[in-house]
Structure 1
């Protein structure tokens, strides 16, 4: 369990935002094939929050019934994976990368490691790109960024009413 805190998060475009009060339970990395496909990545970082401590604050996710037991919530506009939901459970799982401050929640476990990439142990040995982005490119990206900022906004895109 993580320390109690109020946390916010949402999708990349800002169409779906949520707020969590209280503890995040069992923050972990799931390596199962279903999570890999849902994330479009090698694993899915997630943690549980009691439904009574979870609130959607903007928009609503779309849902995909990934099995008879589980549905997955995502933004219908930008596709960001947001939730892993077992509808009859007292909790909902949030994708840790969708938090405004994902670095604040450290996973405590890994699950379904039979599908974990066999080469993960070699990642720290990969060479690093020698040069960061050029200042001109960084400035051009920053000036044209359409991604929602990592904090709640009264409206989004900025200047529109919510």
Structure 2
């Protein structure tokens, strides 16, 4: 799977249980852009609905999680920072889902964060103005 992005926005980690389960990791590291600023340069990835809000993209050949899109009008599309050719270009600026952060995970302690579990029907990484 290959893609191109015009910009990198809202670089963050999410500790929510949905992201933990979707990536099989302790958190998801994601960066976004407007949907029209990400282009799949080969066949698009496979997708599945992981909730009533989030559609997750993954490589059908190897299963690698590639990101997600929220089903909200102003939502961004997100890709995993680890799938970038240059992940160092997407420094983490925020944390979400702190209510589900695994206690022994100690990194990004100085990065601002918020709890997101109390907000039903809102994608934690949708566009904010």
TM-score between both structures, scaled by the size of structure 1: 0.61
SS where residue 121 of structure 1 aligns? coil
> Any stretches of 5+ residues in structure 1 without a counterpart?
1-15, 123-162
Q: Write out aligned runs for 1:38-57 (5 A).
A: 38-57=22-41
8 Å contact 2:57–2:68 — kept in the other structure? yes
Q: Write out aligned runs for 1:9-158 (5 A).
A: 16-22=1-7, 24-90=8-74, 91-121=76-106
Moved over 4 A (4+): none
Once residues 106 and 78 of structure 2 are traced to their aligned partners in structure 1, the CA distance between those partners, rounded to angstroms, is 27
SS where residue 58 of structure 1 aligns? coil
Shift of 1:65: 0.4
Shift of 1:88: 4.2
8 Å contact 2:11–2:31 — kept in the other structure? yes
Q: How many residues align?
A: 106
Higher helix proportion (structure 1 or 2): 1
TM-score between both structures, scaled by the size of structure 2: 0.76
SS where residue 22 of structure 2 aligns? helix
Deviates more, 1:45-54 or 1:73-82: 45-54
Shift of 1:75: 0.4
